[in-house]
Amino acid sequence: MEFYDSLDEIPADFGPSAVTVGKFDGIHLGHRDVFAQLCARADAEGLVPTVVTFDRHPLALIRPGDAPPALVSHAQKVELLAEAGIAVTVMLAFTPELAALSPEDFVRRVLVTALHAKVVLAGADFRFGEGNTGDLAALRTLGDRFGFEVVLIDDVSRDDGGVDRRSSSTWIRELIAAGRVHEAGELLGRPPAIRSRVVPGEQRGRELGYPTANLDPDIEGMLPLDGVYAAWATVRGERYGAAVSIGNNPTFDGIPQHQVEAHLLDQKLDLYDHAIQLEFVEYIRPMNRFDGVDALVEQLQADEKRIRAVLAQEPGTGPRP
């Protein structure tokens, strides 16, 4: 997949293209349906399937305190777009200058001049241009003027407690924040995942017979609710079953706050300074304080037994680090 992070990088003879524009945080099943339609239309008409996205949520610029956490990092997003069959990704910096473009200027500069768009796919709630003043009707009017067709994308909905709800990044964030990672995975089409590097820890787990890989706090992706999870860990291209704990360790004093630790089942590997990806399959329990080491070890053994049973039913999928 070709990748550009500014309009200036795009070759003058680029395209013609079929384009869709959006934040596409998480690259969930609704997004993938859009990309499938985009690629099908591009293939039928000899166009380049192109995604235009942004380096941050617009609220990060407009109202930083209200910006939601990102479901995936830039690197994760690019990998997932390539996996979805997108030929070209343009990730624009959402700067004050970009936010100030009128709907007409945005279309002219991005879709027409840079990408030579012939087809643009957009949802009914698509908004663009300064103050989100451009809508689907405005896009169609500009398409008529500049010579591109606008195709309406239908929403993808799923059942949410007996009520149809549009699949969205917002819904997935709610589920992950509540620890409902299995349900989030159903909307994503893969387990929600984080990535980081393994750093030295206190080695408490090793002393208990459960050595853990401690993650650097600089983490890609959205952390779920504090607790213990059944997960898949991928290191050096190999996937292993794992027990993952997130949060404070209330049983021991002097432990750094809010850690992410992964115990790889049946493995004794030197993981320091290696990239690791954790895919969350199911929430097991909250973080608890135990009355001594024996009680903690007994709980860890029970956790392992349950986690093995969960993972036996889940083959585990997703991009590797």
Contact 168, 43 (CB under 8 A): no
Q: Are residues 147 and 203 in the same domain?
A: no
Is residue 170 one of the residues assigned to a domain? no
Cα angle 96-101-105, degrees, rounded to a multiple of 5: 155
Q: Are residues 210 and 138 in the same domain?
A: no
Query: In angstroms, rounded to a whole number, what is the distance separating the alpha carbons of residues 18 and 15?
Result: 8
Is residue 176 one of the residues assigned to a domain? no
Is residue 318 one of the residues assigned to a domain? no
User: Which DSSP string do the residues of 193-259 spell out, in sequence order?
Assistant: EEEEEEE----HHHHTT---EEEPS--BS---SSEEEEEEEEETTEEEEEEEEEE--TTSTTPPSSE
- Residue 250 reports pLDDT greater than 70: no
Q: Are residues 207 and 304 in the same domain?
A: yes
Compute the average pLDDT of residues 186-212. Answer: 81
Cβ-based neighbours of 27, under 8 Å, separated by 6 or more:
72, 77, 80, 81, 84, 188
Compute the average pLDDT of residues 65-91. Answer: 94
Which pLDDT score is estimated for 320?
42
Compute the average pLDDT of residues 25-39. Answer: 95
Which pLDDT score is estimated for 319?
43
Is residue 47 one of the residues assigned to a domain? yes
Backbone angles phi, psi at 60, to 5 degrees: -60, -25
Which pLDDT score is estimated for 318?
43
- Residue 206 reports pLDDT greater than 60: no
Which residue among 157, 174, 194 closes a domain?
A: 157
Q: Are residues 246 and 303 in the same domain?
A: yes
Which pLDDT score is estimated for 165?
86
Compute the average pLDDT of residues 49-75. Answer: 91
Query: In angstroms, rounded to a whole number, what is the distance separating the alpha carbons of residues 118 and 75?
Result: 28
Q: Are residues 141 and 187 in the same domain?
A: no
Mean pLDDT (the chain) is: 90
Q: What is the pLDDT of residues 111-143, one digit of tens each?
A: 999 999 999 999 999 999 999 999 999 999 999
Q: Are residues 250 and 142 in the same domain?
A: no
Q: Are residues 23 and 105 in the same domain?
A: yes
- Please report how many Cα atoms fall inside a 13 Å half-sphere around the Cα of residue 105, on the Cβ side: 10
Q: Are residues 189 and 134 in the same domain?
A: no
Which pLDDT score is estimated for 249?
66
Is residue 195 one of the residues assigned to a domain? yes
The neighbour count for residue 156, using CB atoms within 10 Å, is 16
Q: What is the pLDDT of residues 135-189, one digit of tens each?
A: 999 999 999 999 999 999 988 887 777 778 888 999 999 999 999 999 999 999 9
Which residue among 108, 140, 157 closes a domain?
A: 157
Q: Are residues 251 and 299 in the same domain?
A: yes
Is residue 174 one of the residues assigned to a domain? no
Structure tokens at 283: 């929430």
Which pLDDT score is estimated for 65?
86
Counting residues of the chain whose pLDDT is more than 70, the rounded percentage is: 92
Q: What is the pLDDT of residues 258-287, one digit of tens each?
A: 799 999 999 887 888 899 999 999 999 998
- Residue 195 reports pLDDT greater than 80: yes
Is residue 194 one of the residues assigned to a domain? yes
Q: Are residues 126 and 197 in the same domain?
A: no
Q: What's the domain count of the chain?
A: 2
Which residue among 122, 157, 192 closes a domain?
A: 157
Q: Are residues 93 and 200 in the same domain?
A: no
Is residue 178 one of the residues assigned to a domain? no
What pTM does this model have? 0.89
Confidence of residue 321 (pLDDT cuts 50, 70, 90): very low
Q: What is the pLDDT of residues 297-316, one digit of tens each?
A: 888 899 999 999 999 987 64
Which pLDDT score is estimated for 58?
83
- Residue 197 reports pLDDT greater than 90: yes
Which domain does 294 fall in, by range?
183-312
Which pLDDT score is estimated for 194?
97
Q: Looking at 53-57, 58-62, 205-209, which range is the least confident one?
A: 205-209
Q: Are residues 199 and 52 in the same domain?
A: no
Which pLDDT score is estimated for 287?
87
Which pLDDT score is estimated for 79?
95
Q: How far apart are the first and last CA of the chain?
A: 17
CATH (domain of 84):
3.40.50.620
